[in-house]
Chain A
Amino acid sequence: MPKLPALLTRTKPASPGAETAPMHPLDAATEAGLTVVDWIDERTALSPGIRWLLFRKVPRGINWAYTLGSATLFAFLNQAVTGVFLAMYYRPDVNGGAYESIRNINDNVFLGQFVHGMHKWGASVMVILIFLHMGRVFFFGAYKYPRELTWIIGVVLLILTMAMGFTGYLLPFDQRSYWATIVGVNINSGGPLIGPYLSDFLRGGPDWNATTLSRFYAIHMLLIPGLMAALIGIHLYLVTKLGISAPPWLRAHEPEEVVEVVEV
């Protein structure tokens, strides 16, 4: 074996601390986790964003009523997750297939009745929470300047939630949901001038037909959830950007320099 130049055979100098005992596995795992987080954070700068979103100043005196918005958000997430998994077994088929698939979910699928029940009852819970949240914002005067746009988006979200309830009610396709939807569509047709065309749009024609159920299904699981997710994002951005309003019973503490002291 030819003798290699000294430059190539030279061993690396021992790094500082190399002589110490090997790292404890837990410390090594922590170190690995931090390395991954650092790697992502260096490229995305996510942590300032998360700090901006979650570690922000809130006014003194806030209470449990301020958590109703988050509660509504979790109800929405519950609907989204259970809805996605219900879609794995649901079949929007008017010839009895829709009803049979719901019966299959309830009777045969493992935890099917439970997940279906979470979606069904979660819908009511979400509507109740929205109204409680709206009541808190209204009675605390939190909709006032500069939070008017947050309120307006919230009202649009309320309307979209109602539309979700309306379109979702048809999907089990039993007698109750069929006739309730007939009534609901005809309430829409009662609007002057555009009503007749609106109900034609909802049914996909002048009469109940083969595409009505799939139309409602598409609106229920694709169109409105996408809109709602986008609007919830804007709603949360505005909440973070504008901050939370103080409860109305708290007197504003004006800075000393703003208060003018008049000598008499």
Chain B
Amino acid sequence: MPADRHKSSSKYTSDRKMPGAFEGETVTRRRMMTMIAHSSGGIAAAAFTLPALGFALGPVFKTQQQAWQIIGVPDDFNELTYVTKVFTVVAGIGEAGQTIAYMRKRNPAIDTEPHDKFNSYIALSSRCMHLGCPVRYVEAAERFICPCHGGVYNFRGQVAGGPPVRPLDRFYTYVHGGYVYIGPRYSVNSELQRFSPRDPGEPLDGLGQYLYPSRWSTPARPPLTNLPAPPPIPGT
């Protein structure tokens, strides 16, 4: 290692005794050409790297759309137990795009979170908030139980035991024209306050809501206009 590695030389080429140096010149023509050649190479490489990178990263920034869909009629649901409803959240990929909502009618005696037009029916997502396995509702225990790592939730979907970090996600529901509609997913913290949908394993209490920010890709609640029409009644 040379001893004078950090010795600074003058920035003027004339001071450095370079042949053909101009007065006040700091960059020689040869060095300028080298810099231009290198930057052209850099621009050419960026011209294919950046679009490819954007192509791969694009879905992170693109907001997915999700519409209201009919999930049933009010008579399907009661206040005492959950009804299992399977519906499609991502179209065109078969069973992999389907998800389960456990649904019941809102019961003011136990559902203490404020009532609005989007929670007259409670729709809990089957996705465990530990790592995303599907929970099942065990009628006798009135608990949701996850098969993977033993997460347990009570009747309202709040954590009753095991590793889950927050209550079960919910779906917006809306009653219109004698039908119950189901909308996009939302997440809740332990007080059942609404947050934009988060992935499992992301706590939303205290610091958690800042450590796990909302994503650009998650859909906002779609407007209540243009709800899908109910299916035609046979014989009319």
Contacts and interface: CB of A to CB of B under 8 A. Distances in A.
Interface stretch (B22-30, B91-99, B137-145): B91-99
Chain B CB within 10 Å, residue with most, of A179, A183, A185: A183
Contacts of A193: 211-213
B148 interface: yes
Nearest to B89: A207
A193 B212 CA distance: 5
A211 B58 CA distance: 12
A211 B92 CA distance: 11
Contacts of A94: 93-94, 96
B93 A189 contact: no
A81 B213 CA distance: 42
A204 interface: yes
B93 A200 contact: no
A205 B93 CA distance: 14
A203 B217 CA distance: 11
A192 B218 contact: no
A162 interface: no
A79 interface: no
A167 B64 CA distance: 24
B220 to A, nearest CB: 12
Given A189-B201, A199-B199, A209-B90, A182 B132 contact: yes
A178 B89 CA distance: 17
Contacts of B134: 179
A210 interface: yes
A195 B60 contact: no
Contacts of A186: 131-132, 199-201
A178 B96 contact: yes
B201 A190 contact: yes
B90 A210 contact: yes
A103 B14 CA distance: 75
B93 A201 contact: no
Interface of B: 56-57, 59-60, 62, 64, 89-90, 92-94, 96-97, 131-134, 148, 197-202, 211-213, 215, 217-219
Given A183-B133, A206-B215, 15 more contacts: A94-B96, A95-B94, A183-B148, A185-B132, A189-B212, A190-B201, A192-B212, A193-B213, A196-B198, A197-B215, A201-B60, A205-B62, A206-B218, A208-B96, A209-B97
